[in-house]
Amino acid sequence: MTEEEFENWKSVDYRMREEGIDYCFEHYSRFEEIKDEEFHKLRLEFLSSMFKIREYVKNTIKSYEEEDTNML
30-49 pLDDT per residue, tens: 999 999 999 999 999 999 99
Does the global pTM surpass 0.75?
yes
CA–CA separation, 6 vs 2, rounded Å?
6
User: Tell me, what's the pLDDT at 72?
Assistant: 60
In the three-class reduction of DSSP (H, G, I as helix; E, B as strand; rest coil), residue 28 is classed as helix
CA–CA separation, 22 vs 26, rounded Å?
6
In the three-class reduction of DSSP (H, G, I as helix; E, B as strand; rest coil), residue 31 is classed as coil
pLDDT band at 51 (very low <50, low <70, confident <90, very high): very high
User: Tell me, what's the pLDDT at 67?
Assistant: 83
